Chain A
C-alpha cells in the first residue's frame, strides 16, 4: 500500500530558469516593475554593505576588546571559570544531542560547529596583544571536541543517561552560578564585575528559570476558585503587564534597597535580576494559563473520578501536559527576555549592548573618521541575532513536531 502510493507520486517537474523567472518575478506588469526596483535597491544596499565590511579598519576596536565583549570586567585570571561553565554546557548539550536525537541533535551540532569555527578564527589571530584570552582557541577547540564526544557517547548509552542528564541540566544553573561567582574555595567575583555577553546570558536565563515557580503559582492562582487568591494574582499580573520593563528595572534599583532591612545589601546586578524575574513571572503566568486552558476538561475530570485530589490532579495530570504544550511559547518568551535584558543599560549595567557603547566611546578610537560605532554595533547585533534566530527556529521546529504528534 504505502510503497504503491509512494511510487504513484508524480515526478517533480523540471523548472527552467526562464520559466521560473517569468512565473515568480514577471508574472504581471506591476510585479515586473517591483522586481526591477527591488533588484536595483538591493544591489545598491548589498554592494555598499559588502564594500564597507571588507574595507573598514574599525574591526580592530572590536578585536582588541573581545574579552570585554564576552565577559566584561570579569578578572582575566579568573576567566577560566567561565570557560569551564561553557565547556560543561557543551558536554551536556552533546550528550543530550546523542540521547534525544532529532532537534536536540541538530542544535548540538550547530553549537559545536560554531565553537569549532570560532576556534579556527581564534587560531588565526596572533596570540599577543590582539587576543587577551590566551587559552581561547584551545578552549574553544576543546569544547567542540567535548561536544562531539558527548554526541557520540550519548548515542551509545542513551538508555542509562536519560535521568542523570535531566538532573544535571536542572543542577547546571546553580552550579554554573556558583562557579562563576565563586565562594566555596574559589575567590569570589562580585556580581558588579560581570558584564558583556556573560551578563546578558545570566540575566536572561535567571529571568526565565527563577520566574518559573512564581509564574506557575500565579497561573494556578488566577485559575483557582478562591476569590482572594484569584484577585491577588490578577492584580499582580495585570499591574506588571501594564507597565514597561524600564519602570520595573528602575523601581528595583531604587526601591529594593529601601524595602529590605538595613543589614541586607544587594548590588545592582542582583537588583536587575529580581526585576527581570518579577517582570517575566507575570508574562510566564499568562503563558502557563494559556496552556492550562488549552487542555480538554476531561483530563481534570478523569483524574478526579480516579480519586486524585486537586493537588494531585494539578501536579500529576494538568500541569505537566500544560507545560509540555507551551514549550514553544516559552522559547519565544526567552527570546524576548534575551533581547529585553539590553534595557539594563538604562539603569547603568554593562551588558553586551552596554559594552558596545563603552567600546565605541573609548578615547583611542577618536581619530577614526566616523568612529567605530558601526563596527561595534554590527558585531553586537550579529551576536544577538544568532542567538535569537537559532532559538526562534528551534521553537518553530518543536511546534511543528508537536502538532504532528497531536494529529
Chain B
C-alpha cells in the first residue's frame, strides 16, 4: 500500500468548488428567482388592474365612507372618511382583544388550577370542559353563541334584573356612570391619590432593598390610592352638593333604552366565544407550568414553614410564570388574530370594516395592505411587550 506523496505545490481550489463562491452564486440565483417570480405576479396584477381601471390609489382614504358602523368606541357617522372608519375598526379589534385577553387569562387560570385540584369532581369537570371546547372549531362556537344570544326576548319584553340590567335579543343593557358637575374637583383628588400611591410604592421598595428582606408593596400602595380617591369622591360630592359621578340607569322607552349602555349581542357572542375557547389553551399552559415546577420546591417551602397559600404565591407561581410566559404570548396573539372572525357574526372589527370598504371601492391591494400592516403591528407590539416582560422575570444567571 503506497501512500501518496504530499503535493509539492499548493493546488488552487477551482472556483466552482469554493464554498464561499458557491454561497454567493446560490444566493444570487435565489434572488433572481424570487425577484423574477414576484415581478411576474406584480406585472400580471398591474395589467389586470389597469384593464379594469382599478389601479392602486390611496385617495379613497380621505373620502366619506358612507356606510354605518353598528358600534364604535369613538363617535362615528357615515359622513366620516374611510381612514376614520379604519381607525374605528382597529379600536373595535383592540377592545375585543384586550378585554378577551384579560378575561381568558382569569378563566384560564381557574381552569388550570381546577385541573390540578384534589377534588375529583372539579378535576373531571375541568377536563371534560377542556376536551369538549378545544376539539370544536371556534367559528362553530361563535355561531352557537350568536344564535343563542339572539334567542332572548325582543327589546320590549326584555328580561329585567332588579330594574338595573336588561337582557334582550339585541344585547345587554346596564347602568353606566355619567359625569357630574363636581367631576373637575374630583379629578384633582384622583391625581393626588395616584401620586401618593406611587410614592408609597417606591418608598416601600427602597426599604425592602435596604433591609434586604421581602414584603408587600403593591397592595398597600393601591389601598392608599383608592382610599384617597374615595375620600375625594365624598368630599367633593358633599361640598358642592352633587356627586362627581352619577349612575345612569337605563329606562325602557317604546323601542329602545334611554340611558345606560348596551353591549350588543354580536360583541357579547364574539367575546364569549373567544374567551371560552382561548381559556382552554391558557388553562393547559397554566397546568403544565405548575406541574413543571420541581416537586422539591413545594416540599422545601413547606418545610421552611410557609403556608400553602404562601408556597403557591411566593415559590410555585413565580417559577411557573417563567415557563408560562412564552406560550401565553402566542395564545394572546392567537386571540387577537381570531378576533377577525368577528366578520362572520357581524361585529364591526378591523376586518369587517375592511371588507365593506373593499366592496365599495374595489381597491383590493391598498385595503389588504392596510389590514396586513394593522394586524402585523398589533402582533409585533404584543410580542415586544411580552418579550420585555419575559426578560424581566427570567432568572438572572450569575
Contact = CB atoms under 8 A, between A and B. Distances in A.
Contacts of A384: 135-137, 140
Contact of A226 (B26, B138, B380): B26
Contacts, number: 135
Most A-side CB within 10 Å, residue of B41, B135, B137: B137
B137 A342 contact: yes
B136 A385 contact: yes
Contact of B119 (A25, A241, A247, A259): A25
A15 interface: no
B23 A247 contact: no
A133 interface: no
A247 B358 CA distance: 13
B27 A34 contact: no
Interface string A216-245: 000000000111110010000001011111
A255 B371 CA distance: 14
A385 B132 contact: yes
A259 B23 CA distance: 31
A228 B35 CA distance: 12
A56 interface: no
A370 B151 CA distance: 8
A35 B121 contact: yes
Interface string B106-150: 000000000001111110010000011011111110011001000
Nearest to B144: A377
A335 B27 CA distance: 36
B118 A27 contact: yes
Query: What is the size category of the interface that chain A forms with chain B?
Result: 35 or more
A373 interface: yes
Given A228-B30, A340-B137, A343-B139, A242 B368 contact: no
Nearest to B374: A243
B61 interface: no
Given A228-B31, A384-B135, A34 B122 contact: yes
Most B-side CB within 10 Å, residue of A246, A259, A260: A246
A261 interface: yes
B379 interface: yes
Contact of A247 (B41, B122, B340): B340
Nearest to A20: B120
A59 to B, nearest CB: 18
B337 A243 contact: yes
Contacts of A357: 143
A24 B119 contact: yes
Interface in B328-377: 337-338, 340-341, 343-344, 351, 355, 358, 364-365, 368, 371-372, 375-376
A100 B151 CA distance: 51
Contacts of A353: 137, 139-140, 143
A170 B209 CA distance: 64
Chain A interface mostly: helix
B119 A246 contact: no
B124 to A, nearest CB: 9
A340 B140 CA distance: 10
A346 interface: yes
B343 A346 contact: yes
Interface residues of B, number: 49
Contacts of A209: none
B44 interface: yes
Contacts of B380: 242
B49 interface: yes
B48 interface: yes
A39 interface: yes
B358 A31 contact: no
B132 to A, nearest CB: 7
A364 interface: no
A186 interface: no
Contacts of B23: 225-226
A190 B119 CA distance: 55
A106 B143 CA distance: 34
A251 B351 contact: no
B44 A247 contact: no
B34 interface: yes
A258 B44 contact: yes
B223 interface: no
Interface in B51-109: none
A394 interface: no
B258 interface: no
B368 A247 contact: yes
A262 B168 CA distance: 51
A38 B128 CA distance: 13
A346 B344 contact: yes
A243 B375 contact: yes
A239 B337 CA distance: 13
User: What are the nearest 3 A-B pairs in CB distance?
Assistant: A388-B135, A24-B120, A244-B337
13 contacts: A25-B120, A25-B121, A35-B121, A42-B125, A226-B26, A241-B379, A243-B371, A245-B337, A246-B341, A246-B343, A346-B344, A384-B137, A384-B140
Given A244-B338, A339-B137, A381-B136, 10 more contacts: A27-B119, A31-B117, A31-B122, A225-B23, A255-B365, A346-B341, A357-B143, A377-B144, A384-B135, A392-B135
